[in-house]
């Protein structure tokens, strides 16, 4: 595995580290102290708590019905999960409550041991969670194969859906999923219409509610779909089916509390372990998912704002999950819930995702949701008793179906783990949760052993030289076949052994080594290669593990790391500058002719630093940080050493013949846009104009903005370009600044330039123009909508230039609109009619790999595939007075040109 990691050169962060009061937790550091020790409640937390409360109440009642537990137990566990786990857990935005994953397990425990013993089992599982959290075992729990975890949850979801289907059909569920499936024909034979119709209505509202169109739809969608479906079903049942079975909340005075467990010790220990396993895995997986949701929310607001425009205030940072603390918090919540006669508690993905999307900023939202549930349990008993059981069963049935995620199925199939996933689901449905997990683990081990032992060995004769191809891992199990294949080769002959695997044990190594020594001693020549053809005996350069051909600039900071050996830095830079498909091997170095030749003595340099010892970051004092000037000098030196010899002939030809670009490319000055990469172009291909916001001032605009017009006139009239492209991008800071403008905005140079973007803002808000959109999906937000509309508006400004209008009328010029999503590395092209000004729909179509229709106007292979990079180099660039300079940057994208929001 590579020791190289991506390094983010953020000089602001390095020069001014975050304060302890900022709420940002450093790795392996204690949590920041609470300011003032007070529990702060923000307005966003209050509104988010109400949203989650409206989801939690019907969900808690539905899960209690599914478990055949006292209905008030569902409300108790929701309140305890919100208040106790919210205060003590390690994931501030995670909402805990009754566990959907434990539905089947808890229902079986209640049937076998009764309700009071089940509460005692919940307490025991909570105590073990506290113990494991104190022993810092939470990360180890995530080491279970994802195929087993998701297969377990999917199997539980299938069992939940089968059980609740009986209630929806007006009957009662049986003891197991298999029994429920076999009893379905009989249940359908004695069907009563009231319950199925109410259940169908609930499911229909759940499906349709998030998709209601129009302004009214946007308004009503603020009400959670779960609450809306149950409320509508309750209202319809009150009028159309007054005799339907409803929620029956008994008096709190008759609520049953736990008792000492009664039953076989081994069976009780197994039950405690099962509750512990499922509740812990569900909580920890939900915590990891909440971290991703929180990071995505923050990234959507701030990650794309590091451009040349002022930033928009973002949500306060939220600490990443402390999984050990989360496990302890869940354990305490389970102990309290069990003592109060509640259901087992775990983190819930549905409630937690709703909390994050509702804008929660801290624990207050989770805790307040628990308070609201507690108040509802005491004050809304009469209202809750109007809810039909069929509506709650339909709600939980949909939750069960959602636990079978098609995204997870695709993922495990992609990683060839579907057999493990399917075996786990089958085991859970047929035998139970613990048995299903055991079956999944057994199958996973068997699959791993099969892959380890499966080795294919082929021998072919290629003009007197034998090629031995070994596919798979080389263990002692493959030694007999390997020895037999190698023994068939003529003694003293030449052979190439291609090893396509990542593991070789001692027995296989000795077998190959002894055969190689014997062949060499008899005058033969043996070469060992990997699948790519590189010699395995050559030094393992970091170029292979860091700077891959398909991401030539991905780790362009490799040569800046003080811990990287000299030759490794050179190799990384060399890989980054070779044309696609023509990369050197680990011990090759570019020469003046552009060919790679072997560099003798590379072995020593590849393992030691310039001082003759290993030069690692942790060895001695930290290396001094490089300043911008040093980085510039280092980049230029890297260019002269590695890239210049490869492109010197081509640049000399261009110097003699002059530039003849075929395109004028107008794009933003954002440092993340590498035009040569996304257009797969080389020296002399693009005449580039970069400015803040990719703006094209219309003719006759204010003086001082003539540089863009001059570049357009020069490109069209002198260079005779064949096309002009206006390229916008996601997260454009200029568009964000336009969205946040106010009448009292200071009249700075930046604002005077951005005024040329006001027509785009007016076009987006006007009802006379159709909104620009992306094919296959709607724009993510108003900022992306403005980025798309701005491209269309700037094309209109282009047509107003006299030289452009003249060439368009002659049919000698084409205009193109382009949008590049930075985070997805995906290019989109404006439809031809809209680019020409004659289309009604302003649609940006996705450019797929190998799409000839999209590739033709640019005379390139693929706008979205970095493997189609042609000759390396820079383009001719014209910068407007408002544009940031775009010097040649051999270090990679954004290294020299980094503007702060």
Ranges of H-type helices in 417-478:
418-430, 433-453
pTM over 0.75: no
Looking only at the bridges linking them, the beta strands covering 843-846 and 826-830 are antiparallel
Q: Which run of H or of E encompasses 528?
A: strand 526-529
Q: Which run of H or of E encompasses 827?
A: strand 826-830
Residue ranges of the chain with pLDDT lower than 50?
A: 1-37, 300-315, 537-555, 557-625, 853-901
DSSP of 182-197: HTHHHHHHT--SHHHH
In this predicted structure, what is the pLDDT of residue 1? Answer: 38
In angstroms, the CA 726 to CA 695 distance is 9
In this predicted structure, what is the pLDDT of residue 256? Answer: 77
Quick one: how far is CA 104 from the chain centroid?
31
In this predicted structure, what is the pLDDT of residue 175? Answer: 72
What is residue 474's DSSP assignment?
A: B
Where in the sequence numbering do the catalytic residues fall?
Answer: 668, 670, 672, 729, 732
> pLDDT by residue (tens digit) across 71-129?
888 899 999 999 999 999 988 889 999 877 788 889 889 989 999 999 999 999 999 99
> pLDDT by residue (tens digit) across 406-461?
888 888 888 888 999 999 999 988 887 778 888 998 999 898 888 777 788 888 88
In angstroms, the CA 562 to CA 568 distance is 11
In 3D space, the residue among 455, 447, 454, 457 whose CA is nearest the CA of residue 415 turns out to be 447
In this predicted structure, what is the pLDDT of residue 565? Answer: 41
CB 453 within 8 A of CB 478: yes
In 3D space, the residue among 121, 116, 79 whose CA is nearest the CA of residue 98 turns out to be 79
In this predicted structure, what is the pLDDT of residue 841? Answer: 65
In terms of C-beta density within 10 A (0-12 exposed, 13-18 middle, 19 or more buried), how is residue 799 classed? middle
CA 423, 427, 433 angle in degrees (round to 5)?
A: 125
CB 352 within 8 A of CB 95: yes
**Ramachandran class of 199: left when φ > 0, alpha when ψ lies in -120 to 50, beta otherwise:** alpha
Quick one: how far is CA 143 from the chain centroid?
19
What is residue 388's DSSP assignment?
A: B
In this predicted structure, what is the pLDDT of residue 714? Answer: 93
CB 717 within 8 A of CB 659: no
In this predicted structure, what is the pLDDT of residue 120? Answer: 93
In angstroms, the CA 622 to CA 744 distance is 48
């Amino acid at each position: 595995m590579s020791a190289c990691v991506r390094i983010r050169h953020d000089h602001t962060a390095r020069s001014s580290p975050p304060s302890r009061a900022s709420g940002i937790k450093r790795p392996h550091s204690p949590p920041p102290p609470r300011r003032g020790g007070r529990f702060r409640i923000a307005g966003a937390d209050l509104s988010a708590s109400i949203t989650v409360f409206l989801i939690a109440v019907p969900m808690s009642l539905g899960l209690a019905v599914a478990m055949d537990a006292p209905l008030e137990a569902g409300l108790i566990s929701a309140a305890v999960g919100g208040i106790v786990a919210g205060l003590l857990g390690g994931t501030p935005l995670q909402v805990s409550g009754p566990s959907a994953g434990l539905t089947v397990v808890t229902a079986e425990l209640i049937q076998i041991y009764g309700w009071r013993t089940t509460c005692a089992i919940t307490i025991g599982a909570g105590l073990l969670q506290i113990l494991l959290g104190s022993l810092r075992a939470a990360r180890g729990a995530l080491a279970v194969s994802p195929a087993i975890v998701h297969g377990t949850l999917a199997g539980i979801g299938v069992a939940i859906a089968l059980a609740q289907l009986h209630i929806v059909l007006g009957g009662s569920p049986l003891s197991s999923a298999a029994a429920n499936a076999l009893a379905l024909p009989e249940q359908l034979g004695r069907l009563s219409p009231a319950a199925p119709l109410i259940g169908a209505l609930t499911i229909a509202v759940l499906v349709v509610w998030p998709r209601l169109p129009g302004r009214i739809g946007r308004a009503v969608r603020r009400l959670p779909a779960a609450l809306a479906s149950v409320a509508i079903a309750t209202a319809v049942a009150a009028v159309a089916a007054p005799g339907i079975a409803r929620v029956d909340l008994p008096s709190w005075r008759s609520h049953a509390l736990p008792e000492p467990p009664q039953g076989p010790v081994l069976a009780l220990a197994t039950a405690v372990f099962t509750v512990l396993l499922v509740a812990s895995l569900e909580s920890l997986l939900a915590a990891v998912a909440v971290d991703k949701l929180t990071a995505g929310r923050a990234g959507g607001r701030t990650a794309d704002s590091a451009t040349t425009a002022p930033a928009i205030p973002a949500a306060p940072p939220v600490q990443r999950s402390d999984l050990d603390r989360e496990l302890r918090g869940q354990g305490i919540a389970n102990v309290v819930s069990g003592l109060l006669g509640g259901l087992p508690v775990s983190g819930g993905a549905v409630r937690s995702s709703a909390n994050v999307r509702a804008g929660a900023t801290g624990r207050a939202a989770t805790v307040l949701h628990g308070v609201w549930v507690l108040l509802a349990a005491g004050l809304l008993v009469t209202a809750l008793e109007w809810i039909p059981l069929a509506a709650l069963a339909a709600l939980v049935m949909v939750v069960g179906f959602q636990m079978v995620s098609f995204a997870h199925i695709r993922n495990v199939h992609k990683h060839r783990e579907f057999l493990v996933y399917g075996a786990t689901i089958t085991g859970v449905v047929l035998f139970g949760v613990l048995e299903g997990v055991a079956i999944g683990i057994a199958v996973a081990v068997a699959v791993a052993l099969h892959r380890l032992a499966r080795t294919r060995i082929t021998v072919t004769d290629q003009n007197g030289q034998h090629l031995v191809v070994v596919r798979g891992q080389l263990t002692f199990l493959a030694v007999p076949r390997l020895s037999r294949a190698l023994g068939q080769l003529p003694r003293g002959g030449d052979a190439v052994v291609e090893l396509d695997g990542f593991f070789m044990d001692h027995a296989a190594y000795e077998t190959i080594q002894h055969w190689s020594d014997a062949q060499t001693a008899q005058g033969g020549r043996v070469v060992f290669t990997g699948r790519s053809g590189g010699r395995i005996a050559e030094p393992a350069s970091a170029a292979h593990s860091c700077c891959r051909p398909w991401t030539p600039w991905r780790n362009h900071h490799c040569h800046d790391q003080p811990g990287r050996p000299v030759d490794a830095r050179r190799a990384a830079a060399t890989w980054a500058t070779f044309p696609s498909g023509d990369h050197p091997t680990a011990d090759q170095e570019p020469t003046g002719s552009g060919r790679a030749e072997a560099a003798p003595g590379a072995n020593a340099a590849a393992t030691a630093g310039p001082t003759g010892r290993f030069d690692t970051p942790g060895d001695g004092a930290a290396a001094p940080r490089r300043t911008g000037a040093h980085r510039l000098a280092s980049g230029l030196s890297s260019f002269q050493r590695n890239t210049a010899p490869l492109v010197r002939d081509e640049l000399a030809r261009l110097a003699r013949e002059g530039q003849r670009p075929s395109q004028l490319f107008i794009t933003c000055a954002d440092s993340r846009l590498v035009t040569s990469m996304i257009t797969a172009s080389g020296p002399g291909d693009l005449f580039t104009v970069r400015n803040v916001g990719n703006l094209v001032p219309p003719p006759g605009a204010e003086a001082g903005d003539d540089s863009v017009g001059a570049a357009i006139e020069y490109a069209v009239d002198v260079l005779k370009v064949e096309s002009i492209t206006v390229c916008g991008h996601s997260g454009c800071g200029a568009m964000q600044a336009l969205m946040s403008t106010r009448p009292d905005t200071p009249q700075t140079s930046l604002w005077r330039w951005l005024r040329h973007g006001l027509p785009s803002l007016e076009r987006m808000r006007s009802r006379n123009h159709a909104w620009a959109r992306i094919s296959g999906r709607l724009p993510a937000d108003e900022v992306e909508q403005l980025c798309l509309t701005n491209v269309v508006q700037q094309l209109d400004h282009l047509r107003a230039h006299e030289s452009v209008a003249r060439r368009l009328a002659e049919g000698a010029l084409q205009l193109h609109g382009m949008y590049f999503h930075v985070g997805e590395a995906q290019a989109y092209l404006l439809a031809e009619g809209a680019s020409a000004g004659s289309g009604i729909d302003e649609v940006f179509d996705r450019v797929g790999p190998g799409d000839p229709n999209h590739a033709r106007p640019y005379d390139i292979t693929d706008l979205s595939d970095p493997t189609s990079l042609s000759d390396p180099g820079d383009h001719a660039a014209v910068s407007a007075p408002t544009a940031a300079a775009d010097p040649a940057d051999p270090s990679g994208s954004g290294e020299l040109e980094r503007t702060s929001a």
